[in-house]
Amino acid sequence: MSTTILPGSLRVCKEHYQLYVPESAQVGSAVGKIKATDADIGANADMKYSIINGDGSGIFSISTDKETREGIISLKKPLNYEKKKSYTLSIEGANTHLDFRFSHLGPFKDVTMLKIVVGDVDEAPLFTLPSYIMEVYENAKIGTTVGTVTALDPDSTNNLVRYSIDHNTEDRYFTINANTGTIKTAKVFDREETPWYNITVAASEIDSPGLLSHVPVEIKILDVNDNPPELARDYDVIVCENAKPSQVIQTISATDRDDITEGRSFHFALDDNFSLNPNFTLKDNEDNTASILTRRRRFSRTIQDVYYLPIVISDGGVPSLSSSATLVIRVCACERDGRVRTCHAEAFLSSAGLSTGALIAILLCVVILLAIVVLFITLKRSKKEPLVISEEDVRENVVTYDDEGGGEEDTEAFDITALRNPSAAEELKFRRDVRPEMKPATKHPTSCHLDNIDVHEFIKQRLAEADLDPSVPPYDSLQTYAYEGQRSEAGSISSLDSATTHSDQDYNYLGDWGPEFKKLAELYGEKESERTT
């Protein structure tokens, strides 16, 4: 049985075999192969490889590939050229299938020596610690030293190392000296806002800036007693009217934004700036709590329903800080077992047996009812009363004017051409909305014929002319006629009768009709006087 070397994996020497492995090889990776030849075939050629000796037995391992019958050499631990530059291995290859009939022809195994040479590789700097933890006090000035990191070049050249901080955010809280690795503060810190900061420091060789190594650095912000203590919450203190002296009515506690170390405690006391309180007192329980006690018997809401108790809370820090607070104590009516029944403003509701929610519901219902009533009244007033006119007085369209007019002097409110005889109107019904094709000629009687004219016929003639005149607006509406009818037993009540008394009535407002109408009035008055005689 002889041993052969795979091409490219080992190089053959006269006395031993040598393998080159760089120090940058990854743990678990295969770094070389070895194979022993056997003249047998089939199962008789199967073999197994093992490391039986050598200083590299703890660094390397070997396994057998059943298909190719090769020995695979793998790296068990990382290599370091600066610590050890070579290793020696004794490797044995043996048949796994033995036929006892031919055992006297053995041995069926062989041993060879393998030297592994570690190659030097330019490596990134190595930090002296896998991680760093540093501390700095809050409120420290900018530029305060936090700590120092150290990295070395693992290569034999021992190049110089430069340091930097990987800034993942825009805020830069720390700076580092590129040559020494000293970290300093870049702002003033508040432990109550951020108690810890995590940064990453990078190291690289000056000659090979592309080779970087990183290390995490945790920086703890130490506490400084810069916050005074405060009440743990807003207390609603109640004292019953039937309270007894030295009765505990409330237990209070405090809190502090600073880091409360074990052994530190709060101290409670009444404010010395106020006179001795005759109603209440305070007892420090020395366990970071205090009790409020009464100093007299019975309280009355009618006399005073609210009391104020100023207290002072201090911490045990260095330097010690303190703060003032005022407790509001309400006087309430309580049951015998101490349960609160009523307190000042709530007394009416409780005596009536109504809760706040019930009262709100009742008020809401009242508001809704008032809104409905107001809306109903508003709608009722907004309705207009219909115009009721007797059917006997309606001839065409009824138009109602809320205008009293200006009397006879008002020519716009009273138009003499609107006088119509109802009987004559039945005979002369013309469409007011149709303009006649021809404008009839207007005939005005001369003064010479006025003596022989009948007033009734004259008015009918004028009304007929007005009906046919297209320049006159239509009167499709209810009109009031000044026609008194024929042969009135009561006589005339018309203002025309004033002509017999030689009235000074001015008829100029009738325009061109003024003189004619005046003459007609005089003539009509004379005929009326003859008729009565």
pLDDT of 384 above 90: no
Which is nearest to 295 in space by CA: 331, 244, 241, 245?
245
Domains of the chain, earliest start first: 10-119 (2.60.40.60), 126-222 (2.60.40.60), 230-342 (2.60.40.60)
DSSP letter string, 159-199: --EEEEEE--SS---EEE-TTT-EEEESS---TTT-SEEEE
CA distance readout (Å), 292 to 246, 305, 336, 403: 9, 17, 20, 86
Distance CA 478, CA 424 (A): 15
Q: How high is the pLDDT of residue 498?
A: 46
pLDDT of 388 above 80: no
Backbone angles phi, psi at 97, to 5 degrees: -110, 115
What digits encode the pLDDT tens for the residues 477-505?
444 555 555 555 555 555 544 444 455 55
What digits encode the pLDDT tens for the residues 173-196?
999 999 999 999 999 999 989 999
Give the count of beta carbons closer than 10 Å to the beta carbon of residue 495: 12
Name which residue leads in pLDDT, 190 or 172: 190
Is the distance from CB of 258 to CB of 317 less than 8 angstroms?
A: yes
Name which residue leads in pLDDT, 216 or 349: 216
Segment 317-345 mean pLDDT: 86
* Whether pTM exceeds 0.85: no
Q: Which two tokens stand for residue 195?
A: 């108690």
Residue 64's pLDDT band (cuts 50, 70, 90): confident
Q: How high is the pLDDT of residue 43?
A: 72
- Where is 520: in which H helix or E strand? helix 514-532
Segment 513-517 mean pLDDT: 62
Is the distance from CB of 309 to CB of 231 less than 8 angstroms?
A: no
